[in-house]
Structure 1
Amino acid sequence: MKAAVLHGYDEKLTAPDFVTYEDVPEPQIRNPTDVIVRIGGAGVCRTDLHIIEGVWRSKVDLKFPHIMGHENAGWIEEVGSAVTHLKKGDPVICHPLITSGHCLACRRGDDMHAEESEFPGINCNGGYAELLRTGARSIIKLPKSLAPKDVAPHTDAGLTAYRAAKKASRHLLPGQFAVVIGAGGLGHIGIQVLRAMCAARIIIVDRADMALQLAQECGADFAVKADGSELDEVMRLTGGKGAEAVIDFVGEGDAVAKGLAMTRDGGYYYIVGYGGKIDIPTIDMITSEKTIVGNLVGTYPELIELMALADQGKVTLATREYRLDEANAALHDLHHGKVRGRAVLIP
């Protein structure tokens, strides 16, 4: 089969080609619960750029050659002997993690903290290819209204945004404020989830005019340009008190400090993007009683919930399609901020 293959790190992201389009062996059924999916769409994520940079080296023992791609949807091609609820041709979306189902975290539905797991595209071969091996526990059948190429990025970008926005929506009341920092691939989804699940007023902060326009199309009430004055503008909009919830999809640079400053006393700061550091004096934590919440993708049930919102037309993805052999163009466009929403590779 054809795949876009990573053969080594590029710490400065300066190479003209990050991956090589080449022939590789097809994945095989290894376990009775394995499933082979024919890829209909594979999302291109900023995490893929971080993998290329080597940011994940401390977390993952990556072996080259490696096939990236952890946002996958398509059609069932083959199933293991123990899989009875799926058949060839079923349109499906894949939860990003392959789990055994045996550990306590799995039994509680806390997929991302499973003791026995594989993460296609991260620590094993992913969906930048024609075929993907995953597990039956990871598969969700798609309704007829949703095509694999249109929803593939929901398996990470959508699921991560959904999990954070769902947490925030549980305590946001009508008339209160939610700030979303970053209206790109994740942020434009988070806005729609907030709009679907609560009545808070939504303020979006981004430095790109393209992203701000997309945010307003997705339901943001206020669009604030990140030009150095964004903290003052958010405080003005919130009456000088800050927002009850701030969801930070950037998580680096000065976004972290400003995000915490935008969070009102007793409010919640949800950190999703990574690369930066949280530095706050303990006395400020005590006197402000702010809550800092980390977010790591999401659970299988949450992906089902997100697909329900997508099926109802309440959450839609802004996507730009690339052929699989255009993976380098997609990665470079993402790196240089040229992608509106999410990039999707289609074999």
Structure 2
Amino acid sequence: MKAVRLHNYHEQPVIEEVEQPTVSGPLDVVVKIGGAGVCRTDLHVIEEQWAEKSGVQLPYTIGHENAGWVHEVGSAVTNVAVGDTVILHPTPTCELCHACRAGDDMHCADRRFPGIDSDGGMAEYLLTSARACIKLDPGTRPDDVAALADAGITAYHAVRKAAPQLPPGTVCVVNGAGGLGHIGIQTLAAMSATTSVVVDRSAEALELAGELGADHTVLADGDHVQTVLDLTGGNGAEVVLDFVAEQGAQQDAFAMTRQGGSHYVIGYGSNIDVPTIDIISTERNVIGNLVGTYNDLVELMVLAEAGKVTLHTKKYPLSKALEALADLDAGRVRGRAILVPDNA
């Protein structure tokens, strides 16, 4: 089968023929990929940012946002059958450790993360686990929902955590309206009555944000922090959802957070440099956010199938994977890039 494989860090992946995966364990599931999301994390993988944390051995297949159709199942699989349309939670888990029992399965003690620490889904087929599979309506197109498997639940997970802080009369800043941010805008509208303020350096992204229901849009032109402060009476927002968190955006996000408010760090790539006295004197919180749980993805798919969350995508054939990665890196993708295998 064809797969997008990373052979060396700081070099582009290659598209090559590799052996198709098969079932070996009782809970194994092989999925025929119908759509694979292209994520900024894929760029960070290539840049070696994940090498130490993942411990992955090169070469391997990247891609961690995957949906498709069940192709083969192990002997103990009962929740899906061959032919079912599925979206895959990005971390197949053990379901037995304390984190899994607590519903905090992205912190499973024995998890895998295909596309990060093992072969991922930028390929024609992917080996996963029954525990990662969520069965979808047969009419759902995998290439329409694939990016919800990571970008979607990452945004949803952050909004779900922040929602109790966002009753009517509050303000939430969405910092970045790209692949994750445009999903965050929609989930925010579905789960709270807060006033949303979307900040982005792209006028096109802000136009999309307005179409998706943002109450205010602010161009990141150097004066955006002051503009947000002006919109909030000089106080800042109760919550800032930072979907960028690099190139200075992470500092802006903290500056846009009011006293007693919370800065949710969702994007990554740079350090946050905040004097500790600024944290204690204002009691502002900095909260990390790692993907989301299996249940988060189940709930998000309910919103998606109800039409309350829609992915804006740009689709590429698998053979154009390098073009998709380059377009993402250059900011040419509106919403989310999706790879579609030629045989899907």
TM-score w.r.t. the length of structure 2 is 0.97
Is residue 4 of structure 2 the alignment partner of residue 4 of structure 1? Answer: yes
Q: Report the 3-state secondary structure (helix = DSSP H, G, I; strand = E; otherwise coil) of the residue aligned with 2:106.
A: helix
Q: Which moved more, 1:225-234 or 1:253-262?
A: 253-262
Shift of 1:279: 2.2
Q: Report the 3-state secondary structure (helix = DSSP H, G, I; strand = E; otherwise coil) of the residue aligned with 2:31.
A: strand
Q: Distance in 2 between matches of 1:230 and 1:128?
A: 37
Q: Report the 3-state secondary structure (helix = DSSP H, G, I; strand = E; otherwise coil) of the residue aligned with 1:134.
A: strand
Shift of 1:229: 0.3
1:61 maps to which residue?
A: 55
2:337 maps to which residue?
A: 343
How well do the aligned residues superpose, as a CA RMSD in angstroms? 1.0
2:128 maps to which residue?
A: 134
Shift of 1:135: 0.5
- Ranges in structure 1 where 5+ consecutive residues have no aligned partner: none
Q: Which amino acid aligns with 2:29?
A: V
Q: Which amino acid aligns with 1:9?
A: Y
| Residue pairs, 1:74-223, within 5 angstroms | 74-144=68-138, 146-223=140-217
Q: Distance in 1 between matches of 2:194 and 2:318?
A: 40
Q: Which moved more, 1:143-152 or 1:200-209?
A: 143-152
Q: Distance in 2 between matches of 1:2 and 1:131?
A: 9
**Structure 1 vs Structure 2: percent identity of aligned residues?**
55
Shift of 1:173: 1.3
Is residue 257 of structure 2 the alignment partner of residue 290 of structure 1? Answer: no
Q: Which amino acid aligns with 1:180?
A: V
Q: Distance in 1 between matches of 2:156 and 2:78?
A: 30
Shift of 1:145: 5.1
Q: Distance in 1 between matches of 2:9 and 2:41?
A: 13
Q: Distance in 2 between matches of 1:30 and 1:145?
A: 29
Shift of 1:118: 1.0
Q: Report the 3-state secondary structure (helix = DSSP H, G, I; strand = E; otherwise coil) of the residue aligned with 1:36.
A: strand
| Contact residue 84 and residue 138 of structure 2 kept, 8 A | no
Q: Distance in 2 between matches of 1:257 and 1:249?
A: 12
Q: Report the 3-state secondary structure (helix = DSSP H, G, I; strand = E; otherwise coil) of the residue aligned with 2:221.
A: coil
Q: Report the 3-state secondary structure (helix = DSSP H, G, I; strand = E; otherwise coil) of the residue aligned with 2:165.
A: coil
Q: Distance in 2 between matches of 1:64 and 1:286?
A: 44
Shift of 1:37: 0.4
Q: Distance in 2 between matches of 1:194 and 1:57?
A: 33
| Contact residue 328 and residue 337 of structure 2 kept, 8 A | yes
Q: Which amino acid aligns with 1:192?
A: Q
Q: Which moved more, 1:137-146 or 1:20-29?
A: 137-146
Is residue 31 of structure 2 the alignment partner of residue 31 of structure 1? Answer: no
Q: Distance in 1 between matches of 2:257 and 2:194?
A: 14
| Contact residue 70 and residue 156 of structure 1 kept, 8 A | yes
| Contact residue 249 and residue 272 of structure 1 kept, 8 A | yes
Shift of 1:120: 0.5
| Contact residue 91 and residue 113 of structure 2 kept, 8 A | yes
Q: Report the 3-state secondary structure (helix = DSSP H, G, I; strand = E; otherwise coil) of the residue aligned with 1:99.
A: coil
Shift of 1:228: 0.4
Shift of 1:260: 0.9
The total of aligned residue pairs comes to 341
| Contact residue 145 and residue 311 of structure 1 kept, 8 A | no
1:230 maps to which residue?
A: 224
- Ranges in structure 2 where 5+ consecutive residues have no aligned partner: none
| Contact residue 177 and residue 243 of structure 1 kept, 8 A | yes
TM-score w.r.t. the length of structure 1 is 0.96
Q: Report the 3-state secondary structure (helix = DSSP H, G, I; strand = E; otherwise coil) of the residue aligned with 1:251.
A: coil
Q: Which amino acid aligns with 1:147?
A: R
Q: Distance in 1 between matches of 2:203 and 2:139?
A: 31
Is residue 342 of structure 2 the alignment partner of residue 332 of structure 1? Answer: no
Q: Report the 3-state secondary structure (helix = DSSP H, G, I; strand = E; otherwise coil) of the residue aligned with 2:54.
A: coil
Q: Distance in 2 between matches of 1:144 and 1:219?
A: 29
Moved over 4 A (4+): none
Shift of 1:144: 4.0
